[in-house]
Amino acid sequence: MESIVVHGKTFVPYISDEEIQAKCFEIAVKINNDYKGEKPLFIAILNGSFLFAADMFRHIDLEAEISFIKLVSYKGTTSTGNVVTAIGLDERVKDRHVIIIEDILDTGRTLYQFLPELYNQNPKSLKIATLLTKPTARLFDVQPDYLGFEIPDKFVLGYGLDYDGLGRNIPSIYQLEE
């Protein structure tokens, strides 16, 4: 496989389509086992997670629901700085087993700020499934319950992840060249 150029930056092949698909299946099998007899609600966070959500969810054999939300962060007036608001989150979270689907856990800031909003709606349980995590980039204490790949703190794109809007349609994952 060859490197690609997006917005003038060079990216090199990092995780193949086959590896990603195998991991989607593996995660779905784990969830199927863990939630046997339950009716979990998956909440996929747009935009980045849409391909992972689709490829993983198609292997879920439970009576599951899926919903898509968007998190918008803006400068708040509170002491914590940024505030994250969820668009498209409805009331069905109460008493449900909820599994959040993310593309990548980086600093952890986004989920750290959003999770309290979800907990306020009293889910029965709350777990996080993420395709990628950058453990050395973490600034906020959020840990994945279901994980695809641990990666170093380097920018990646492809498979839903973008660099300034481009690259989401690439079936595999590329890493920014040093």
Site for Mg ion, rule CB under 5 A: 48, 103
Question: CA-CA distance, 161 to 134, in Å (whole number)?
Answer: 14
Alpha helices in the chain (DSSP H): 17-34, 50-57, 109-119
**Rounded to the nearest whole angstrom, what is the least distance from the CB of residue 105 to ligand XMP in the complex?**
5
Question: CA-CA distance, 155 to 9, in Å (whole number)?
Answer: 11
State the helix-helix crossing angle for 50-57 and 17-34, rounded to 10 degrees.
60
Pick the catalytic residue: 106, 141, 162, 164?
106
Note if 55 is an active site residue: no
Q: Using the minimum distance from each CB to Mg ion, give the nearer residue, 48 or 158.
A: 48
Q: Using the minimum distance from each CB to Mg ion, give the nearer residue, 48 or 108.
A: 48
Which residues face 129 on adjacent strands? Answer: 101, 146
- E strands within the chain? 4-6, 9-15, 41-46, 65-75, 82-87, 97-105, 125-133, 146-150, 156-157, 173-176
The entry of Mg ion, ligand XMP, none near residue 50 (CB within 5 to 8 angstroms by kind) is: none
Strands 146-150, 125-133: pairing is: parallel
**Rounded to the nearest whole angstrom, what is the least distance from the CB of residue 52 to Mg ion in the complex?**
10
Q: Using the minimum distance from each CB to ligand XMP, give the nearer residue, 70 or 124.
A: 70
**Rounded to the nearest whole angstrom, what is the least distance from the CB of residue 160 to Mg ion in the complex?**
8
The entry of Mg ion, ligand XMP, none near residue 118 (CB within 5 to 8 angstroms by kind) is: none
Q: Is 52 left (phi over 0), alpha (psi -120 to 50) or beta?
A: alpha
The entry of ligand XMP, Mg ion, none near residue 107 (CB within 5 to 8 angstroms by kind) is: ligand XMP
Q: Using the minimum distance from each CB to Mg ion, give the nearer residue, 29 or 72.
A: 72
Site for ligand XMP, rule CB under 6 A: 48, 102-110, 155-157, 161-163
The entry of Mg ion, ligand XMP, none near residue 109 (CB within 5 to 8 angstroms by kind) is: ligand XMP
Question: CA-CA distance, 95 to 76, in Å (whole number)?
Answer: 30
**Rounded to the nearest whole angstrom, what is the least distance from the CB of residue 22 to ligand XMP in the complex?**
21
Residues noted as catalytic = 106
